[in-house]
Amino acid sequence: MAEQDAPPLPAAPLPAPPPLPARLADPVPAIVAGTGLWFVGFLVVLLFWRSETTLLWTCLSGSLLGVIGYGVFTWQRSAARRGRRTAQQGQGLTD
């Protein structure tokens, strides 16, 4: 009975997980692939369902926002590499 009343032992802290490999931590392939898929969708809708203007504008907007997002990402990455104080850190921005 005395063993059941004893306080539980503190759990040992878990070791830190290993860092991701550089090729998995780099978000550029995902950004480029997503933008490319929106552009392919735009071309498919343009060729086969031209009358579906909502789909057409959605795919075009996705493509353009992907290009703008990639531009902002590269701008932030270059600022982080230069060591700018106002640059964001993390998420593949610095090596």
Read off the pLDDT of residues 41-90 as tens digits, 9 standing for 90 and up: 999 999 999 898 999 999 999 999 999 999 998 988 888 878 777 666 66
Our measurement of the distance from residue 91's CA atom to the centroid of its chain's CA atoms, rounded to an integer in Å, reads 8
DSSP 50-76: TT-HHHHHHHHHHHHHHHHHHHHHHHH
The whole-number pLDDT of residue 11 equals 78
Q: How far is CA 82 from CA 70, 78, 87, 89, in A?
A: 18, 6, 9, 12
Say what the pTM is.
Answer: 0.68
